[in-house]
Amino acid sequence: MVASHPRALLAVPGPVVSATVIDRAKIRVVVGLSGGVDSSAAAALLVEQGYDVVGITLKLWPQDCISRAEDKCCGPQAVMDARSVSHKLGIPYYLIDEADDFQQQVIHYFAAEYKAGRTPNPCIMCNEKLKFGTLINRARQLGAEYVATGHFARVEPSADGRRHLLKRGRDPRKDQSYFLFSLQQEQLARSLFPLGGLTKHDTREIARENRLKTADKEESMEICFVPDKDYGKFLQAARLVQKHQGEIVDLRGRVLGHHDGIEFYTIGQRKGLGVSSPKPLYVIELDPANNRVIVGDESALEREEFTVERCNWIPFDTPPPTLEVTAKIRYNHPGTPATVTPLPAGGARVKLSVPQRAITPGQACVFNQDDLVVGGGWITR
């Protein structure tokens, strides 16, 4: 029996229909279960609301995860926890192998970006291609209308009911809308985020009330396939990158030392440069064409203008000539006022009101207007 919870509020996206006329027992929802507390609480809320819920875990990593990260989303412990939650809630559960898709869509992208001198964000790509791509396709096969996850974000219909809007989660400390900016209208239309109006404390309370074993499980802030945060080690172990020596130069082109590959560096990095200097040096730029790492003092990291490519606009198909937004240049960035000018071929120019440090090619820049996610794009060199 699922415990009732006063904060358990869920809005179905799409056409606005009175809750009194929705026969939720006939609406099937697939929940992506990672084995963590958030997806567990999301499943519990959906069951409480009366939906026909099915739990699915995507097995993403082809290798034996026990020695790497047994409690991560690729590991056996996570699968056992997700299965336990499904059993406790009385819902069907499936483990689906999508390792090949993950390898092609996420791992190869991850390596290619580093080889190109960019810093990737694999979580955004995993959401777009798998959690709201492959999983939606699997949901259709099971006759499900929606896919739900434990993300702290919200989807709401626009005022005219023609579009689906993405909004920040109400808990500013846990908001994950940044990682969802690239979702298309078709994906948002089929997405449910039951935790969007709740806090992290709320989710743990929901899990405890339902006696789910994930209630006090520690959350992970790492990339799921790089649990020790050493992405360079992962790239070499997976044989995706080999060491290849190049020059470390200053902003004038003077050679200060040598590196083993630009893939092992990122903009703003200070430690591990292997060069001596009377003042601290930082990675200012990566030059893949010449296999060079360019370093300089901290002041050279600040920029106030840059471009993004492959923009996705959520409230509209065609953006206005300019937009005043708050721009987040990375997930843990607080955001800063900016003027965005859309460009031909799906790009945009971003001018910040205050220069920011370490604007990194390959990272996503996401545009907000208050709680609304207007869109975003990928920072170019």
The rounded Cα 55 to chain-centroid distance in angstroms is 21
Whether pLDDT at 84 is above 90: yes
- Its pTM surpasses 0.95: no
Q: What is the pLDDT of residue 74?
A: 56
Are 106 and 122 within 8 A, CB to CB?
yes
Residue 238 has a pLDDT of: 87
Closest Cα to residue 231, out of 241, 221, 244, 220?
241
Q: Is residue 254 predicted with pLDDT exceeding 90?
A: yes
Strands 191-192 and 146-148: parallel
Contact status, residue 54 vs residue 91, Cβ threshold 8 Å: yes
Residue 130 near residue 138, CB atoms below 8 Å:
no
Q: What counts of helices (H) and strands (E) characterise the chain?
A: 10, 17
User: What mean pLDDT comes out for the span 8-12?
Assistant: 44
The predicted structure's pLDDT at residue 263: 95
Average pLDDT over residues 332-337: 96
Whether 68 shows a pLDDT value over 70: the answer reads no
- Least confidently predicted of 87-96, 145-154, 176-185, 229-238: 229-238
How buried is 22 (Cβ within 10 angstroms: 0-12 exposed, 13-18 middle, 19+ buried)?
middle
Please state, for a pLDDT cut of 70, what percent of the chain lies above it. Answer: 90
What is the reported pLDDT for 65?
47
Catalytic residues: 126, 224
Q: How confident is the model at residue 73 (pLDDT cuts 50, 70, 90)?
A: low
CB-based burial label for 181 (10 Å; 0-12, 13-18, 19+): buried
Using pLDDT thresholds of 50, 70 and 90, give the confidence band for residue 156. Answer: very high
Q: Checking phi first, is residue 370 left (phi over 0); if not, alpha (psi -120 to 50) or beta?
A: left
Under DSSP, the state recorded for 58 is E
* Distance, CA of 326 to chain centre: 19
Residue 374 buriedness (CB in 10 A; 0-12 / 13-18 / 19+): buried
Burial class (CB in 10 A: 0-12, 13-18, 19+), 70: middle
Q: Mind listing the pLDDT tens digit for each residue in 274-289? A: 898 889 999 999 999 9
Question: What is the full DSSP assignment across 314-354?
Answer: SS-SS--S-EEEEEESSTT---EEEEEEE-GGG-EEEEEEE
List domains and CATH numbers for the chain: 23-209 (3.40.50.620), 247-296 (2.30.30), 302-379 (2.40.30.10)
- How many percent of the chain have pLDDT more than 90? 80
What are the CA-CA distances from residue 29 to residues 10, 23, 202, 235 (Å)? 13, 13, 22, 36
**62 pLDDT above the threshold of 90:** no
**pLDDT (0 to 100) of residue 53:** 98
Kindly report which listed range (151-160, 234-243, 328-337) carries the lowest average pLDDT score. 234-243
